A and B are shown apart, each in its own frame.
Chain A
Amino acid sequence: MKKVIMGNHSVSHGVMASEVKVISAYPITPQTHIVELLSEMCGNGDIDAKFIKVESEHSAMAACVGASAAGSRAFTATSSQGLLLMHEMLHWAVGARLPIVLANVNRAVGPPWSIWTDQNDSLSQRDVGWLQIYCESNQETQDTIPQAFKIAEELQMPVMIVLDAFFLSHTYEIVDIITKEEVRKFLPEYKPEIKIDTKDPHSFGNLGGPDVYMELRYMIQEAMEKGIDVIKRVDKEFEEVFGRGYGLIQPYRCDDAETILVTSGTVSSTTRAVIDQMRDEGIKIGSLKIRVFRPFPFEEVFEVLSKAKKVAVIDRNISFGNGGIFYQEIKSALYGRTDIPIVGYIAGLGGRDITPSVIREIADKAIGDDKPERYINWIGVKK
């Protein structure tokens, strides 16, 4: 059934259709609608889940850890400072290999206090070990939730799905709403081999000496690497049932493109409009949306970008002392191809709008500058 709904509610519908058993969350702008609707769904019986109210995001994730360890499908949603407060427990979910799904609404980190979007909250969790999938539309957001559970449960790894504050979270779009009955054809019931069972007590998360620690970490990396194929396969299985697929990355008019703009999140849609405009002008330009950030799809990205003459990366984030975080990833993906200049553009921090003219400015700069002096460029800073 098609409905016009907001991005946050797309998440809620995805969670409902995935028949999650435990939801624990703490409210934070701009995420709150997600759990508000979920609590209503729990209240009126649309979803047979336990909704656990907690006093902080740290506890929210701790509750999900407990629920997942006990064999339940668990979900939480958060944003910005909330995600940062969860940090310790995010590590725990990975180390304990728990297939929790978290929706993070990208919101800039304070101070100065901000409620508007940028990616520094989720990207600062880059090395924790969560899979990260960045969404672009309400439809994609909803569809990614059951995908995320399937991926997570197969890999026994937690998955974070990420959406932009306001540009997605509060924007209404037409969404073909999926139902539990449909999702059952795609996502099987979660029946973990290992779970906490009071009748068969083991110690979980106990002391692991130097003789076992590395092996456990090795297995996490192994799961991440295996993740690329699993995500691809799960996406295909989803497409078979629902007729929609999203891939690891989404190249747009890249086949003969000399310049490729690399994007993520909602900026990707705006960029495509600019690409079409420039193509009409005869400029050979394309764009590449990175959907799956962890595990990073090195091969797929190399495959697309290695054919270009120039790559421009738009980052709505900043790793201070280095540069854009996607920029670093793209550089490492193209390692060895010194013939392709890769230029980074920092734009849209703290919710500053990235309009078509901003993207056009970046594209023109990238094309016009054959030997850029700076590889980290700030767009729109009042100097």
Chain B
Amino acid sequence: MKVSSRFLHFAAAVSLALAFNTAHAKPPTAEVNTTGLAVTDDTVTVGQLHSATGTMAISETGSIQAEQLAIDQINAAGGVLGRQIKVIQEDGASDWPTFAEKAKKLLVSDKVGTVFGCWTSASRKAVLPVFEKENGMLYYPTFYEGLEQSPNVIYTGQEATQQIIAGLDWIAKEKKAKTFYLIGSDYIWPRTSNKIARKHIENVLKGKVVGEEYYALGHTQFGSLINKIKLKKPDVIYAAVVGGSNVSFYKQLKAAGITSEKQTLLTISVTEDEVLGIGGENLVGFYSSMKYFQSLDNPANKAFVAAFKEKYGADSVIGDVTQAAYLGPWLWKKAVEKANSFDIDKIRAASPGIEMDNAPEGYVKVHENHHLWSKLRIGQWQTDGQAKVLYESELIEPDPFPEGYQ
């Protein structure tokens, strides 16, 4: 197991960390830990559960890095309740039974105070029963399909409606779009997202869905799909393709002459991380709807980006999920301090209403339903792989079980 307790000394990190930190006297361990978690007088142990190997390592690497950065910054600023955070990192190896196994190990053997982890819906579904049975707490960073509200999870990414509805409204208004072609990888998140999108297009925007298709994860040949798109001539292609398929999809779109000059494309699955593999030149002019883009212009984000690049190299990029993962440790710290305890039940009770004014994405607040209030932003991709933010919505209330969209 990897125990990381390094201190960071560079200015950006410290200044950011100081901004978050409020001075606390150190309360005795017996008082703050009544359930036998791995908390000593000087340290608190937390778990980190992502895929460092296997097919999902592509996506989860950013989250691992962001969580470690946040933890380092918290430690540099004095830790949580006067205790330094120690991390036990486990590898889910892109395999769902392994995720369940490691989650159990972290909660049962290591008695960690909380876990930051998971990326795919499947891995979250696999560990959820473990967290509920052993009463652990999971900070889950990915934007996901909703339809879930566990007392043992804090969802720091967007649920589906937060990512979809305002984006569709914007594109319908800006581009006078009436017809949509929905495309996704074949699993629950794209299917649920497109279900919500379809309801919104048909019932609210009074538009038309001219096609809806799903391709297996890892599919690489989109020739036939592209021809069908050409046949239907939709105003907007609405894409939720993920992983390696993404790269093939956009390269082949461009090669078939479907570029932003002729075609509007809005995607909910491309962040700066994906652009790294796709290549900015293959995406130029297409839109993504996300809550965070690396190019956001505010001081907190600038400090975050600087600290991230300092630690992981100037070439590294930060996508939506990476930023959401960065929030996890900070929100946990705030909850612990509000509860003045590491006990899971007390953290759970303290979590709703926790606010952060200076998160990289701006103001966030934890809702009663354990999701975050967040804004939606539309970014337009540029050749350098960064997005130009064209639109920013009001704060959107999370609604994992949206009425009328079921």
**A and B from one assembly?**
no
- Interface on A for B, CB 8 Å cutoff? none
